[in-house]
Structure 1
Amino acid sequence: MARVRFTGPEAVTVPELGGRHIEPDEIVEVPDERFEGYVCQNSTWEAIEEPKSAPTKKTAAKAPQKTED
């Protein structure tokens, strides 16, 4: 689990964390695969401890290569 700090001005309830009530300046654990979803909101969350393993990025399948005979 990764850890983030809530930097917002007033307490919030986070449904994704089981409806947990989070106070300003509180550090919480979030699932590794959701870490980026929190820290991309840099006005309300900051990274404290990054995920142990980097999340894998999903890419589209490549089209098959055409070969000339």
Structure 2
Amino acid sequence: MARVRFIGPEPVTVPELGSHEVQPDEVVEVPDARFEGYVCQPGTWEAVEEPRSPEPDQTELAPLAKKTAARPQKEN
């Protein structure tokens, strides 16, 4: 999980964090996939700890779809 600091002037309730009330200058953990959604608001949030990149051997790849070769069309 990534971490961000709330730099707003008043407490806010963040539904994504289980309706947790975040206080000014509080550091909270956010899902790695949502990190950019917080730090793109520089007047409200600042990055503390960026998401870790997955280890190369732990990266899960989706299997490729199998395709068959196209058959030539028959001429009548």
2-side partners of 1:37 and 1:2: how far apart?
A: 12
- How far has the Cα of 1:53 moved from its partner? 1.5
Measured after TM superposition, the shift of residue 24 of structure 1 is: 0.1
Extract structure 1 runs of 4+ deviating beyond 4 A.
none
3-state SS of the aligned residue for 1:52? coil
Q: Secondary structure at the match of 1:48?
A: strand
Distance 1:37 1:24 in 2: 18
Amino acid at match of 1:14: V
The structure number with the bigger radius of gyration is 2
Query: Deviation of residue 44 (structure 1)?
Result: 0.2
CA distance in 2: counterparts of 1:6 and 1:43, whole angstroms: 9
Asked if 1:18 corresponds to 2:27, the answer is no
Structure 1 segments unaligned to the other structure (5+ residues): 55-69
Q: Structure 2: 5+ residue runs without aligned partners? A: 55-76
Give RMSD over aligned pairs. Answer: 1.0
Map 1:1-69 to 2 at 5 A.
Answer: 1-53=1-53
- CA displacement, residues 3-47 of structure 1 (integer Å, 9 cap, x when unaligned): 000000000000000000000000000000000000000000000
Separation in 2, partners of 1:37, 1:22: 16
Distance 1:47 1:11 in 2: 18
